Amino acid sequence: DIQMTQSPSSLSASVGDRVTITCRASQNIANYLNWYQQKPGKAPNLLIYAASSLQSGVPSRFNGSGSGTDFTLTITSLQPEDFASYFCQKTYTTPYSFGQGTKLEI
Amino acid sequence: QVQLVQSGAGVKKPGASVKVSCKASGYTFTGHYMHWVRQAPGQGPEWMGWINPHSGSTKYAERFQGRVTMTRDTSISTAYLELSRLRSDDTAIYYCARDRCTTTSCAWPAFDFWGQGTLVTVSS
């Protein structure tokens, strides 16, 4: 199976900062990479699909890029509501596995 | 608006089975794949498999083969997950999640709507 590795596992930042989270696949997954945000006690929420397409209703400060094996999620100008956990997911082939997550803290 | 409403939390003994339901509304139930994802405490999500509500066909993650069954009842727009031979490490929140892909066209799979989650605790 293709493994998904996220880094960092945790990240401290301040309101207004720009942060970048990376996700690496163990094999080429083209652009089949999604990003989710999850807040405590809630289900994940889709932010980005197909590596760089913004899901409807998601603020434009969320930006996804990459293809092949290396992907990034960038959040420009962090807002208080952005402090949460973030997960990547590959959907190139089943299993549609997730990364282990990045916890973004104040 | 799209909603996925899941059944309530439960406690099961090791070796037992659990069945979780997911009632869909706000869209054509048979038009989108439905996935099941679980998340153990403090862990990342784990994909368990999908069901095509239109045809009833399924695809399960290999690690759950033989223990998992996904079904649906189109008359009440509800998907079901059944997991048997439960172990303590099956303790997790179980989510249903709709695929943005339709059952007739699938370019970029992603899970655009999720249920609220169902906590299943396996304990003797």
Q: Is the pLDDT of residue B106 over 90?
A: no
Geometric angle at alpha carbon B68, from B79 and B15, rounded to 5°: 120
Over residues B51-97, the pLDDT tens digits come to 999 999 999 999 999 999 999 999 999 999 999 999 999 999 999 99
Distance CA A91, CA A25 (A): 11
pLDDT of residue A16: 96
Give the HSE-up count for residue B81: Cα atoms under 13 Å, Cβ half-sphere.
Answer: 28
Dihedral sign (CA A90, B86, B118, B49)? positive
* End-to-end C-alpha distance for chain B, whole angstroms: 40
Q: Which long-range contacts (CB under 8 A, 24 or more apart) does B56-65 make?
A: B59/A94, B61/A94, B61/A95, B62/A1, B62/A95
- Tell me the backbone φ, ψ of residue B74, rounded to 5 degrees: -70, -25
pLDDT of residue B95: 98
Geometric angle at alpha carbon A92, from A89 and A95, rounded to 5°: 65
Chain A residues with CB inside 8 Å of B115's CB? 43
Residues 4-63 (A) with a CB less than 8 A from some CB of B: 31-32, 34, 36, 43-46, 49-50, 53, 55
Distance CA A27, CA A85 (A): 24
Distance CA A34, CA A53 (A): 9
Q: How far is A8 from chain B (nearest CA, A)?
A: 14
Q: Does B108 touch chain A (CB under 8 A)?
A: yes
Over residues B11-57, the pLDDT tens digits come to 999 999 999 999 999 999 999 999 999 999 999 999 999 999 999 99
Helix (H, G, I), strand (E, B) or coil at B63: helix
pLDDT of residue A97: 96
Beta strands B10-12; A33-38: pairing state: unpaired
Full pLDDT tens readout for chain A, 106 residues: 899 999 999 999 999 999 999 999 999 999 999 999 999 999 999 999 999 999 999 999 999 999 999 999 999 999 999 999 999 999 999 999 999 999 999 8
Strand segments, DSSP code E, in chain B are 3-6, 10-12, 18-25, 32-39, 46-51, 58-60, 68-73, 78-83, 92-102, 111-114, 118-122
Chain-chain contact of B45 with A46 (C-beta, under 8 angstroms):
no
Residues 16-35 (B) with a CB less than 8 A from some CB of A: 35
Q: How far is A100 from chain B (nearest CA, A)?
A: 5
Q: Which of the four pLDDT bands, split at 50, 70 and 90, describes residue B105?
A: confident
pLDDT of residue A106: 86
CB-nearest to A49 from B59, B110, B114 is: B110
pLDDT of residue A44: 98
Q: How far is A43 from chain B (nearest CA, A)?
A: 6
Chain-chain contact of A98 with B46 (C-beta, under 8 angstroms):
yes
Neighbours of B98 (CB within 10 A): 24
pLDDT of residue B107: 85
Answer whether B71's CB lies under 8 Å from B19's CB. no
Mean pLDDT of chain B: 97
Distance CA B65, CA B61 (A): 7
Chain-chain contact of A91 with B110 (C-beta, under 8 angstroms):
yes
